[in-house]
């Protein structure tokens, strides 16, 4: 008879049906999971994490030893500008409930997910992990940014007061299958993919919001997922770590749009609506700390990752566009 290994790690993933959660689930299923690990992916359907009681009940039910905390209220530039207070309140409640429930139920390690948009607006580049709290974030999304920064404060507090191993990762712009491809409130890359798809269907020009000049470091969700597993198993610092491609792999919005145009074989005109806001010009992050730990990590080439994402979107259009 087959001997099953005892479960050494029971890993609860909040926000488990989102972009990064789905990528982790796929990477685990495709052979990166270990026999002594049990993975539990939960979404807002399983518990409302803004509720202390529901969060506590979720942790009591699953009794995780480890947590990957991805759940958040998120949105693109234009949604953030409209609802800064909502982004602040909901994320503060979610984060406090998750971290405190983890502490109360004896979770050994929590890895939370921050974002490079939380860094100071006025800063020198490249940005590194020591600079998070050096000044106010960009005014467009201050609610979300300050709420995310507070995770770092709480991690420090739980470590100093209770010895907890709670840490955080800071990915750059994540994209991939299962993203939010909504044109109105999604992020730049999935929004562009949806726009190219529609422009191709309608035989119309493709209009990109802004000048196309801002630059971003994009990380493929499946690469990020593999790095999350490494952080969960190997990374022992409480201080956060930036998970990103190198500075030399930064691309402009125009270059990103051109990569999507090529991947989807769009033959129409490419236009830029310069009346629309650009957001921050750049947010260049240093991945030097990651490279010190993992000098040999191979990222998926940008154009290949874009191609795979476009293929997924086209194949799953009926569900993906929602």
pLDDT digits over 196-215, tens only? Answer: 999 999 999 999 989 999 99
Joined tokens for residue 88:
């602040």
Residue 175, Cβ density class (10 Å: 0-12 exposed, 13-18 middle, ≥19 buried): buried
DSSP states along 178-197: T----TTTS-HHHHHHHHHH
Per the DSSP assignment, residues forming a β-bridge with 171 are 243
pLDDT at 80: 65
* Other CB atoms within 10 Å distance of the CB of residue 287: 23
Query: Is the predicted pLDDT of residue 10 greater than 90, yes or no?
Result: yes
Q: How far apart are alpha carbons 253 and 307 in whole angstroms? A: 16
pLDDT at 322: 64
Whole-structure pTM value: 0.93
pLDDT at 235: 98
Give me the catalytic one of 83, 144, 158, 235: 144
Q: How far apart are alpha carbons 34 and 49 in whole angstroms? A: 28
pLDDT tens digit string along 13-31? 999 999 999 999 999 999 9
Whether 144 is catalytic:
yes
> What radius of gyration, in Å, describes the C-alpha atoms of the chain?
20
pLDDT tens digit string along 125-170? 999 999 999 999 988 889 999 999 999 999 999 999 999 999 999 9
pLDDT tens digit string along 35-75? 999 999 999 999 999 999 999 999 999 999 999 999 998 76
């Amino acid at each position: 008879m087959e001997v099953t290994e005892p479960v050494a790690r029971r890993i609860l993933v909040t926000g488990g049906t989102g972009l990064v959660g789905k990528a982790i689930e796929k990477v685990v299923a495709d052979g990166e999971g270990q026999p002594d690990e049990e993975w539990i992916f939960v979404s807002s359907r399983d518990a409302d994490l803004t509720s202390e009681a529901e969060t506590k009940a979720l942790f009591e039910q699953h009794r995780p030893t480890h947590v990957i905390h991805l759940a958040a209220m998120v949105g693109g530039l234009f949604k953030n500008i409209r609802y800064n207070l909502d982004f602040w309140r909901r994320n503060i409640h979610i984060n406090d409930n998750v971290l405190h429930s983890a502490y109360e139920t004896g979770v050994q390690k929590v890895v939370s997910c921050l974002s490079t948009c939380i860094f100071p607006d006025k800063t020198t580049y490249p940005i590194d992990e020591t600079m998070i709290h050096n000044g106010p974030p960009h005014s467009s999304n201050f609610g979300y940014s300050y709420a995310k920064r507070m995770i770092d404060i709480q991690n420090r507090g739980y470590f100093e007061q209770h010895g907890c191993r709670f840490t955080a990762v800071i990915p750059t712009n994540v994209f991939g299958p299962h993203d939010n491809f909504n044109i109105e409130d999604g992020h730049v890359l999935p929004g562009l993919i949806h726009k190219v798809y529609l422009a191709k269907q309608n035989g119309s020009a493709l209009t990109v919001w802004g000048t196309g000049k801002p630059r971003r470091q994009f990380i493929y969700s499946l690469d990020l997922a593999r790095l999350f597993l490494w952080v969960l198993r190997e990374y022992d610092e409480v201080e956060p770590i930036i998970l990103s491609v190198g500075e030399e792999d930064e691309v402009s919005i125009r270059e990103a749009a051109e990569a999507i145009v090529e991947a989807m074989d769009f033959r129409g005109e490419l236009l830029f609506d310069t009346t629309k806001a650009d957001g921050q010009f750049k947010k260049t992050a240093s991945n030097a700390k990651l490279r010190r730990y993992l000098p040999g990590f191979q990222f998926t080439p940008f154009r290949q990752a874009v191609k795979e994402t476009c293929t997924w979107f086209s194949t799953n259009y009926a569900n993906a566009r929602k």
